[in-house]
Amino acid sequence: MSTSPNTLILTAHGSKDPRSAANARALAARLQRMRPGLDVRLAFLELSEPNFIDVLTGLPDGHPAVVTPLLLASAYHARIDIPEQISRAGVGYIRQADVLGEDDRLVLVLRERLAELHVSPFDRQLGVVVVAIGSSDSAVNARTAQVATKLAAETRWSGATMAFATGPQPSVADAARQLQRRGARRIVIAPWFLAPGRITDRVWKYACDNGIPMAQPLGAHGLVAHTVLDRFDRALAADPAAA
């Protein structure tokens, strides 16, 4: 049997909020439409169904697959949780692709979400707070902070800075005040999240309470799907056994 996989296991974190799972399902369906010959299977690490271990153990004996994380940062779940669960499942020929990361395509989606709020790249009085999940790993947070820098490139905004909805500083409020001290007259929030959920709802409440416009998460956008497929293809190209 060939060891070249045609199965992509789209692996999301999972959430008690059904909107998160709905977004992952929409993205899986988009991937299947974009590449009809690919066997796309959705899995969640926790809180949502189908469970990741169940999807792995449900593969036919010896069936090769690429676990492709639907995650933005290479933190605990990508570096520890997923590999441990793959090892525990003890099935087939499984490899793991990279996370989506600070991919330029995803930054373009974030710009689109801001454009939906009629944000102009030429607004010199605007400050943009990019909000993400924080990590206990400072190197992960530093990589995530690159999103704000990339987003502000070739704009005339007063500034763009990173904030973390969980974990490290700065908080959203701290980041907004920082931008105001730098001269921003108006603030807008750009969530670096794939889907809405309880954390984005907390940020949304802060935004509403303070009269700050907030963009939508990245969602099941076509460029998100292209980034997922890119990670899948790179995992295959990097493994000589797939040739």
Helices (H) and strands (E) in the chain, counts: 9, 7
Digit-coded pLDDT (tens) for 73-98: 999 999 999 999 999 998 879 999 99
Comparison of pLDDT for 91 and 200, the residue scoring more: 200
Whether 242 maps to a domain, the answer reads no
Whether 243 maps to a domain, the answer reads no
Q: Same structural domain for residues 85 and 138?
A: no
Q: Same structural domain for residues 77 and 127?
A: no
Q: Which of 6, 62, 20, 32 is nearest to 191 (CA)?
A: 20
Whether 164 maps to a domain, the answer reads yes
Global pTM? 0.94
Q: Same structural domain for residues 30 and 78?
A: yes
Q: Same structural domain for residues 37 and 123?
A: no
Q: Same structural domain for residues 125 and 197?
A: yes
Q: Same structural domain for residues 92 and 121?
A: no
How many whole angstroms separate alpha carbon 146 and alpha carbon 79?
Answer: 20
Q: Same structural domain for residues 149 and 193?
A: yes
Q: Same structural domain for residues 198 and 178?
A: yes
Geometric angle at alpha carbon 115, from 31 and 193, rounded to 5°: 50
Tell me the CA distances in angstroms from 100 to 103, 178, 225, 229, one per residue in order.
Answer: 6, 28, 10, 10
In total, how many domains does the chain have? 2
Q: Same structural domain for residues 78 and 109?
A: no
pLDDT score for 5:
76
Digit-coded pLDDT (tens) for 128-178: 999 999 999 999 999 999 999 999 999 999 999 999 999 889 999 999 999
- Segments forming the whole domain that contains residue 86: 7-101+221-237
Q: Torsion-angle region of residue 237: left (phi > 0), alpha (psi -120 to 50) or beta?
A: alpha
Residue type, 79: R
Whether residue 18 is preceded by a cis peptide bond, meaning omega within 30 degrees of 0, is no
pLDDT score for 168:
86
Q: Same structural domain for residues 146 and 206?
A: yes
Reduce the secondary structure of 29-52 to three states and give it as a string: HHHHHHCCCCEEEEEECCCCCCEH
For the cut 60, the answer to whether the pLDDT of residue 3 exceeds it is: no
